[in-house]
Structure 1
Amino acid sequence: MLKEKALKGVRWTSLSAVISVGIQTLQLMVVTRFLSPRDFGLMALASVVIGFSQLFIDLGVSNAIIHRQDISHPQLSSLFWFNVIMGSTVFALVVLAAPAICRFYDQPALRPVLYLVSFSFILQSFEQQFYALLKKELHFDAIAKRDIFAKVVGMFVAIVCAMRGWGVYALVWAQLSYALVSVLLLTSAGLKHHRPGLHFRWSDIKPFLHFGLYQTGEGICNYFNSQIDVLVVGRILGVTELGIYNVAKTIAFRPFQMINPVVTQVSFPVMAKAQNDLPRLKAIYLKGLNYLCSVNFPVYVFLIAFADPLVRVLFGAKWGPAAPILEILSLYTMTRSIFNPIGSLMLARGMVRKTFWWNVAMLCLVPVAVFVGARFSLWAVGLALTLLQILLILPAWRWLIYPGCQATLGEYLGALLRPLLVALVAGLALYACSLANLPHPLAKLALGGVAMIGLAGLVNRWLNRPFYGEVSLMVRDAAGKLKIRFN
């Protein structure tokens, strides 16, 4: 039963991720025609502030709800109102801090952007618990439907506002529209499973905060590690350069945002239910890692090989300087994707203290790499981050993965090696395709896409049979269902 629910969750999460990335990419393609790099730079700075502040809305109690298997109705009610209180508090703090943030970056235009976007904290505080409960019970269909519809609404708002010449506010109103639609849909679905009562007691919250505070601390460190490049580039190289960097980073992270949640969102609650069965937990983790890399690696090899035609097709010639940045950031994101399933494993085992101290260590290393790179160029920032990620692969196994599920170094590297070989073989063919003298960059992309899918499929069948077999089974299952439906 658990496996069936997990596979259903994978299907719904995959559908949501693919459609969401398609929507966001279409939105970006359109609005880049009307907005300047400076507009994207301002929104990038606002997004860093907003993203950091979001970590404090529930102080990690949502993941504590998923981890704990016995929670009473009064506890859930107290935790719901705790989320609402925290969301309102964070909103007030960001509004108060906005003038100081604008002075630091010498960007007065950033203040009204922060004022408006911070309203999303109040909205999101009402959906936090419902999202956690639906995720815990593997109701990924409700989550996926909500996410897709909310993103469609946000996209239309962004495009209409951009065409009307609203500049950075096209992105602001798109984000607020997404937050409003999301909370309405998620709350409607969540109320079918739990209705919070008018009950609040501090003693109900304390057991969850012990888990949640460590996770919040880890989230703060992790967030700064992932966004310090934006902060440093904006400060040292300027808002216009940041706009170019952020567009390249957005494209580089699109596959990461599409593919990784398919594994991590489903694997966390599944691992949590198997947290005391280490052999089973290890098998789930290694399979998830292998499948994740089997999809991520060839996709990122494609981005590296076709960065220039991709940028020109998506955004136009004026964004050409983003192409070399996309190449190096694709290599960085490909390497970073290896680490992503570790978080689900640690949360499932309740080992939040370990991940907290790991991310504290990263907070000492990542800013140094970014500062060194930023002294030279945008490309050097990506290179420094990539080299650091490669150096951390073995320490991550020894400090986190082995204590979490007892996977040996050979088992861990074996899960990575097969997808890497597939990507390298496919990469040679993609490089040859990228050199083809075709009349239009879109033709190059089409040729490269066909070559990547065909070669990756053939080489996976030879070197990575478990993944190939699972994908083939899912495709046959989906085709069978469609055939039945149309008949």
Structure 2
Amino acid sequence: MPWYIQFSGQALMTKIKYPAEDGYVASVDKADVASKARKGIKWSALQIITRNVLSLGTTAVLARLLSPGDFGLVGMVATLTALLQVFSDMGLSWATIQSQQLSKAQISNLFWINTGVGALLWGFCILAAPGIADFYGEQELVGITVALGGGFLLSGFAAQPIALLNRTMNYKTAAKIEVFAIMAGAIAALVSAFLGFGYWALVIQSLVNAAARALLALPMSGITILAPRQDVGTRKLVTFGGLMAISGLFNYLACSLDSVLVGKYWGTEELGFYNRAYFLMLLPSVLSSGVLTKVMVSALSAIKDDQERFASVYRKGMKLSLFIGCPMALGLALTADEMVFIIYGSQWQPTVPIFMWLSIISVAQPLNNASSWLFTAAGKAKAYLYFNMAAGLILGVCFYFSAPWGTLAIARVNGIVMGVGVIALSVWASHKASGLSLKGTLLCVFPVVPCLLLMAFSVLVVEFVCEEFGLDFLLILMLKVLFGLVSYICFSLFFMRDFLKKDVLPFLWVSK
């Protein structure tokens, strides 16, 4: 008979028992999906906004305390750790969320797999550290790689508890965990930077963040940890998760090979500029699709047997993601000069042209994120793998041939190939795999397009007039933001009145 450790409530309680049966992990009642989704979006929004405001504020301070080379050094290792992070989770979090029925024994086995893989990856980082330092010609990378590798073990502890919260759509608790973790990491980084720790401040931020998440997630998720067991149906979950993990590998190659090549060909300073531009490029997508991804995958997984309802919920979620994320991305691109100066300072001005090209991806990224919802919720892991293999191959070849021409050339290729070609392919492939009508989806989301075009025209006119009158730098930024926001809202009221009334306002008014 197995023993187990039970984590429940707000406090940690360890009990050794011999249960008669393991039972099943709770799942969401289909009748409650809509209500939980509305509440979940509000909590996820609070989590994402708080996390990124803290992250942006912390970055703004650190950019003035640390050098571009410090960011570049950590960025060199981050390209490896981002790849290994895919295998740390093994796609098992999505297996937990997507599975129709899940036993306590199964999720416990997944916990041990995540933890074991995390320990192995830390060991791999220790062994690989000298080679990474030799590859880039920077001996400081040995210590950075070994230290950041410890984060894999911490991530392994937290993976299944967080997945369990998302499966039950308990986003309030998940939000509390994430916000506290990012606050702990930010405080640790700022203190370390003020004390003169240099690039180690960025390493400390990552480790403290991961440790706080693990320490909170274990007791607050209510997960029951049993001794590892066989013949409980874990294999099918690992198979699904494995396919998702391999998909994540190719997705990583598509998104991170550019940073590897910039660091290899052009050094730490150029990589620092590129990574800061990439960070800004990701912000709108994180703030829009990041809010919806966990909620949408959980909700769509619960109703995937009802094709009509599945299609309706997906299209509404996709339209909401575009409605929020696309104008943020476009607005950030239209104010790139001012925003880079305010956030990073004058020494980071080379970031601007890089960011402008990457903004093509930023504007289209909500489409790509919504496509991943379809692949995951519909259980089409194999189709998702094939798509990511094709995308990784296309981008890898393009990056390789553009790298000798400079950092801006890589950004230009990334913006055009990823922002236009690959994302269009993802939309088509996800609809084909899930059996949804692509035409129906495009007709649903099309009204966002004229709103964006008219918003851009309004901002450009304001910028031209302000420059003609020689207005102050900050005043120009304020006017561009104000006119961009007002014009987008006005055009949305004209082109998407019913959508705002029926699908946006209910999320704002939902009770806690």
* Contact in 2 for aligned 1:78/1:202 (Cα 8 Å): no
1:396 aligns with 2:426: yes
Of 305, 312, 319, 1:276 maps to 305
Of 311, 328, 331, 2:360 maps to 331
In the alignment, what sits opposite 2:181?
150
Of 205, 209, 230, 2:259 maps to 230
In the alignment, what sits opposite 2:248?
219
In the alignment, what sits opposite 1:448?
480
Q: Structure 1 residues 45 and 38 mapped into 2: Cα distance closer, same or farther (>3 Å)?
A: same
Instruction: Tell me how far apart the structure 1 counterparts of residues 150 and 433 of structure 2 sit (CA, whole Å).
Output: 41
Q: What is the SS of the residue equivalent to 2:332? A: helix
Identity of aligned residues (%): 25
* Contact in 1 for aligned 2:391/2:422 (Cα 8 Å): no
* Contact in 2 for aligned 1:289/1:415 (Cα 8 Å): no
In the alignment, what sits opposite 2:369?
340
**What displacement does 1:293 show?**
1.1
Of 117, 124, 145, 1:114 maps to 145
**What displacement does 1:394 show?**
4.5
In the alignment, what sits opposite 1:40?
71
Q: What is the SS of the residue equivalent to 2:262? A: helix
1:80 aligns with 2:116: no
**What displacement does 1:334 show?**
1.5
1:406 aligns with 2:439: no
In the alignment, what sits opposite 2:24?
none
In the alignment, what sits opposite 1:485?
none
TM-score, length basis structure 1: 0.94
Instruction: Tell me how far apart the structure 1 counterparts of residues 257 and 207 of structure 2 sit (CA, whole Å).
Output: 24
Of 107, 125, 139, 2:156 maps to 125
Tell me the amino acid that sits aligned with residue 404 of structure 1.
Answer: S
* Contact in 2 for aligned 1:457/1:468 (Cα 8 Å): no
Instruction: Tell me how far apart the structure 2 counterparts of residues 202 and 179 of structure 1 sit (CA, whole Å).
Output: 32
In the alignment, what sits opposite 2:101?
70
1:360 aligns with 2:389: yes
**Which runs of 5 or more structure 2 residues have no equivalent in the other structure?**
1-31
Structure-to-structure mapping, 1:189-204, within 5 angstroms? 189-191=220-222, 194-201=223-230, 204=233
In the alignment, what sits opposite 2:17?
none
In the alignment, what sits opposite 2:492?
460
Structure-to-structure mapping, 1:244-255, within 5 angstroms? 244-255=273-284
**What displacement does 1:224 show?**
1.4
Q: Structure 1 residues 116 and 360 mapped into 2: Cα distance closer, same or farther (>3 Å)?
A: same
1:20 aligns with 2:51: yes
Tell me the amino acid that sits aligned with residue 41 of structure 1.
Answer: G
Q: What is the SS of the residue equivalent to 1:196? A: strand
Instruction: Tell me how far apart the structure 2 counterparts of residues 339 and 330 of structure 1 sit (CA, whole Å).
Output: 14
1:162 aligns with 2:193: yes
* Contact in 1 for aligned 2:41/2:507 (Cα 8 Å): no
Q: What is the SS of the residue equivalent to 1:55? A: helix
Of 157, 167, 179, 2:210 maps to 179
Q: How many pairs were matched up? A: 476
Q: Structure 1 residues 146 and 411 mapped into 2: Cα distance closer, same or farther (>3 Å)?
A: same
* Contact in 2 for aligned 1:57/1:86 (Cα 8 Å): yes
Instruction: Tell me how far apart the structure 2 counterparts of residues 382 and 404 of structure 1 sit (CA, whole Å).
Output: 32
* Contact in 1 for aligned 2:265/2:403 (Cα 8 Å): yes
Tell me the amino acid that sits aligned with residue 211 of structure 1.
Answer: F
1:239 aligns with 2:268: yes
Instruction: Tell me how far apart the structure 2 counterparts of residues 298 and 40 of structure 1 sit (CA, whole Å).
Output: 29
Of 266, 278, 298, 2:295 maps to 266
Q: What is the SS of the residue equivalent to 2:226? A: coil
Q: Structure 1 residues 398 and 312 mapped into 2: Cα distance closer, same or farther (>3 Å)?
A: closer
Tell me the amino acid that sits aligned with residue 300 of structure 2.
Answer: M
**What displacement does 1:180 show?**
0.9
Q: Structure 1 residues 137 and 312 mapped into 2: Cα distance closer, same or farther (>3 Å)?
A: same
* Contact in 2 for aligned 1:332/1:382 (Cα 8 Å): no
Q: What is the SS of the residue equivalent to 1:442? A: helix
Tell me the amino acid that sits aligned with residue 434 of structure 2.
Answer: G
**What displacement does 1:204 show?**
4.3
TM-score, length basis structure 2: 0.89
Instruction: Tell me how far apart the structure 2 counterparts of residues 97 and 456 of structure 1 sit (CA, whole Å).
Output: 50
Q: What is the SS of the residue equivalent to 1:406? A: coil
* Contact in 2 for aligned 1:63/1:132 (Cα 8 Å): yes
Q: What is the SS of the residue equivalent to 1:70? A: coil
Q: What is the SS of the residue equivalent to 1:118? A: helix
> Could you report, residue by residue, the CA deviation over 1:389-412 in whole angstroms, capped at 9, with x for unpaired residues?
31235433443213314223x223
Q: Structure 1 residues 202 and 122 mapped into 2: Cα distance closer, same or farther (>3 Å)?
A: farther
Q: Structure 1 residues 265 and 325 mapped into 2: Cα distance closer, same or farther (>3 Å)?
A: same
* Contact in 2 for aligned 1:2/1:270 (Cα 8 Å): yes
In the alignment, what sits opposite 1:314?
343
In the alignment, what sits opposite 1:471?
504
**What displacement does 1:303 show?**
1.3
1:61 aligns with 2:92: yes
Instruction: Tell me how far apart the structure 2 counterparts of residues 397 and 311 of structure 1 sit (CA, whole Å).
Output: 31
> Could you report, residue by residue, the CA deviation over 1:253-296 in whole angstroms, capped at 9, with x for unpaired residues?
11211211112110001010111111111112211111111112
Of 120, 124, 134, 1:89 maps to 120
**Which runs of 5 or more structure 1 residues have no equivalent in the other structure?**
483-487
Of 299, 319, 337, 1:290 maps to 319
* Contact in 2 for aligned 1:87/1:121 (Cα 8 Å): yes
Instruction: Tell me how far apart the structure 2 counterparts of residues 270 and 317 of structure 1 sit (CA, whole Å).
Output: 45
Instruction: Tell me how far apart the structure 2 counterparts of residues 371 and 294 of structure 1 sit (CA, whole Å).
Output: 34
**What displacement does 1:314 show?**
1.2
> Could you report, residue by residue, the CA deviation over 1:287-321 in whole angstroms, capped at 9, with x for unpaired residues?
11111111122112211111011111111111111
